[in-house]
């Protein structure tokens, strides 16, 4: 009797779960979803004029651009964003000598320990150190940024769809909702007249919900003075730092592409060799005649 009651209870529970699942699936499939007007204004990330040199199967790093991008990160982005997965010694891949990397690391202040007291302290960076976070903890980061914690940028271009172009578009895409138009020429303010940005938020059509807590980091041209004399327009600085962050996310990308070509060549050679081997092995075998 007890076993029968247990079976009935189990069947009843299973039936309730199936009915609930079916009702939810039906509602999700048939109920119309109303999206805010701004969804029609979301812009697809765009590449800078001329594109990135590293793009495509034959792409290569533009070392000068990566160095400029590092300068933009250091002078602008590092005030809020960390690079926890990148060490100063990795800068040698950008064409800096060992002595230059050592000197560059020393210009940064990193967390350390006082050898005399054992208490927390700070010290000049070493090539083996990672780029430090500008905030001691997440609470301090949120308090300084309108309750939004700035993400670590080490892997940001891998964490976002079409990451390199996304970073470029986001940095250069801040606009005024009263004058901003989409590809169809529609004015945002006319299509979404009830749009009101949150307190401390900024309109950016390339962000997921168009309200971005980060104020425009690149505001005016020549905000950074490039040592190689390149004109530092907002678009140029955005492209340079996007290229640098692509390198931080995947420093072996170009080597991987080059290795891929050798792998394809070997595969093609092995396929041709196997075909000739098959012809040689079966050359003496004659097919049976069908009478």
Q: What integer is the mean pLDDT of 153-170? A: 96
pLDDT tens per residue across span 231-256? 999 999 999 999 999 999 999 999 99
214 in a labelled binding site = yes
Residue 51 to residues 56, 61, 62: CA-CA distances in angstroms?
10, 12, 12
- Residue 136 CA to residue 111 CA, distance in Å, equals 9
Ligand-binding site membership of 81 (annotated): yes
pLDDT greater than 60 at residue 84: yes
pLDDT number for residue 224: 96
According to the model, what pLDDT value does residue 206 have?
Answer: 93
Candidate CATH numbers 1.10.760.10, 1.10.3720.10, 1.10.10.2120, 3.90.1170.40; the one for domain 46-253: 1.10.760.10
Q: What is the 3-state secondary structure (H, E, C) of 187-199?
A: EHHHHCCCCCCCC
Task: Please state, as a whole number, how many other Cβ atoms lie within 10 Å of the Cβ of residue 176.
Answer: 9
Residue 77 is assigned to a ligand binding site: yes
Dihedral sign, Cα of residue 65, residue 83, residue 160, residue 35: negative
95-143 pLDDT, tens digit each? 999 999 999 999 999 988 888 788 888 899 999 999 999 999 999 999 9
pTM of the full structure: 0.81
| Domain locations in the chain as residue ranges | 46-253
Q: Which of 35, 34, 40, 51 shows the shortest CA–CA distance to 180?
A: 40
pLDDT tens digits for 25-67? Answer: 666 666 655 666 666 778 889 999 999 999 999 999 999 999 9
């Amino acid at each position: 009797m007890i076993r029968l009651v247990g079976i009935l209870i189990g069947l009843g529970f299973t039936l309730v779960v199936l009915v609930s699942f079916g009702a939810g699936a039906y509602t999700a499939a048939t109920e119309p979803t109303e999206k805010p007007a701004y969804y029609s204004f979301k812009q697809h990330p765009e590449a800078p004029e001329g594109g990135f040199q590293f793009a495509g199967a034959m792409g290569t790093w533009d070392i000068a651009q990566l160095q400029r991008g590092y300068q933009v990160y250091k002078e602008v982005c590092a005030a809020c964003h960390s690079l926890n997965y990148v060490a100063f010694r990795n800068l040698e891949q950008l064409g800096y000598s060992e002595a230059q990397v050592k000197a560059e690391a020393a210009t940064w202040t990193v967390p350390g320990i006082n050898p005399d007291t054992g208490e927390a302290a700070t010290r000049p960076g070493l090539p083996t150190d990672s780029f430090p976070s500008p905030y001691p903890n997440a609470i301090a980061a949120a308090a300084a940024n309108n309750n939004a914690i700035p993400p670590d940028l080490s892997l940001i271009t891998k964490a976002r769809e079409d990451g390199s172009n996304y970073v470029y578009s986001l940095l250069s895409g801040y606009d005024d909702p009263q004058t901003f138009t989409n590809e169809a020429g529609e004015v945002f303010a006319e299509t979404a007249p009830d749009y009101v940005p949150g307190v401390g938020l900024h309109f950016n059509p390339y962000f997921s919900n168009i309200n971005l807590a980060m104020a425009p980091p690149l505001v005016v041209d020549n905000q950074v003075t490039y040592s190689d004399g390149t004109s530092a327009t907002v678009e140029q600085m955005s492209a340079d730092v996007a290229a640098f962050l692509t390198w931080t996310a995947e420093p072996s990308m170009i080597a991987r592409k080059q290795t891929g070509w050798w792998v394809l060549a070997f595969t093609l050679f092995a396929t041709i060799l196997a075909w000739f081997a098959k012809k040689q092995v079966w050359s003496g075998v004659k097919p049976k005649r069908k009478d």
